[in-house]
Structure 1
Amino acid sequence: MYTELRETATELAGVLWREHTVYRERGGGVVIRGEHVERWISLAPTGGRNQARLRAGRLLDGGTTAPARSEVVVDLSVGTAELAAVCRRLLADVAAAETRPSRARTERPAKDRGRGRPKGEGKAPRPRKSRHTSLGSWVVLICVAGVVGLWAYSVFGTSGY
């Protein structure tokens, strides 16, 4: 099954993107990476005869893959053009998911603020306090000054200067 997936993925990658990388994933499937479009497509065996699970997602900064945004089971006996059409639809779903605002980022009405959200979410940021020297820093400074004072007393206090 892997060789069939690999051949199908290689043909599919050539139709979808000029620049691509095809490699095997841990689960026995095949991944097509399009670095220039920041997207990936995965073909994995489903257990059914001549079927594959097709997933699509985006690539994150640093080259890691984000979880799949879309998934569908396809019949591999259809032609490459039909598979490419399914892939394009999945990639369009991934792109649409990126443009939709997340619920966490949308602003709630003023009357709803303060209810039903985790602590700290939606509050105005606290003003930064100016930095002051902490008690521990003062203790260290006093100890250093004491050591310097003792050294100065031992050197200059006993010699008669």
Structure 2
Amino acid sequence: MYVQLRETADELARVLWREHTVYRERGGGVVIRGEHVRRWISLAPTGGKDRALLRAGRILDGGTTAPARTETVVDLTAGTAELAAVCRRLLAEVAAAAEPAPGPSRAGRDRGREEPAGAPGRGGTRVPAPCS
């Protein structure tokens, strides 16, 4: 099974990224690392013939990998283009999950808040410090 995973990973790596590293995991799977995009993909055996668990995640600062953000089971007999499309979808989900969620707008946070007149800060009166 490892040989099939390795061959599939090599083909996928060439299609997905110009710069990549392919290596074997401890559990018998294969990892494709795209350092320049800070993402990784792994193919691991599932116990079924011609099927693999495809996972995707981020590469953190310092080069360590974050846990998988998304995963799916794929049929290894599918063509490279089909598998690459699945990989791209998972990588897009990883990228979307890595973006910070938009917070409430400043106007939304300030709504209903009143500061007393003369209080320092927004809307208050500031008195310049005397010069010596």
1:72 maps to 2:72: yes
Distance 2:68 2:32 in 1: 13
Instruction: Decide which structure has greater helix share.
Output: 1
Instruction: Decide which structure has greater strand share.
Output: 2
For 1:80-138, what per-residue CA distance to the aligned partner results, in whole angstroms no more than 9, with x for missing partners? Answer: 00000000000000011112528xxx57x89xxxxxxxxxxxxxxxxxxxxxxxxxxxx
Distance 2:78 2:14 in 1: 17
Give unmatched runs, 5+ long, in structure 1.
111-161
Partner AA of 1:80 in structure 2? T
Distance 1:14 1:98 in 2: 24
Larger relative contact order, structure 1 or 2 (CA cutoff 8 Å, min sep 6): 2
Give unmatched runs, 5+ long, in structure 2.
111-132
Counterpart of 1:96? 96
- Give me the TM-score of the superposition, normalised by structure 2: 0.76
Partner AA of 1:27 in structure 2? G
Counterpart of 1:14? 14
Counterpart of 2:51? 51
For 1:57-94, what per-residue CA distance to the aligned partner results, in whole angstroms no more than 9, with x for missing partners? Answer: 01001110001011000000000000000000000000
1:62 maps to 2:62: yes
Q: % of aligned pairs identical?
A: 77
Offset at residue 31 of structure 1 (A)? 0.1
Offset at residue 45 of structure 1 (A)? 0.3
- Which structure: larger Rg? 1
Q: Cα RMSD (Å) of the superposition?
A: 1.6
Aligned residues: 106
User: Any residues of structure 2 matched to 1:1-161 within 5 Å, and which?
Assistant: 1-101=1-101
Distance 2:59 2:28 in 1: 20
Partner AA of 1:69 in structure 2? R
For 1:4-47, what per-residue CA distance to the aligned partner results, in whole angstroms no more than 9, with x for missing partners? Answer: 10000000000000000000001110000000000000000000
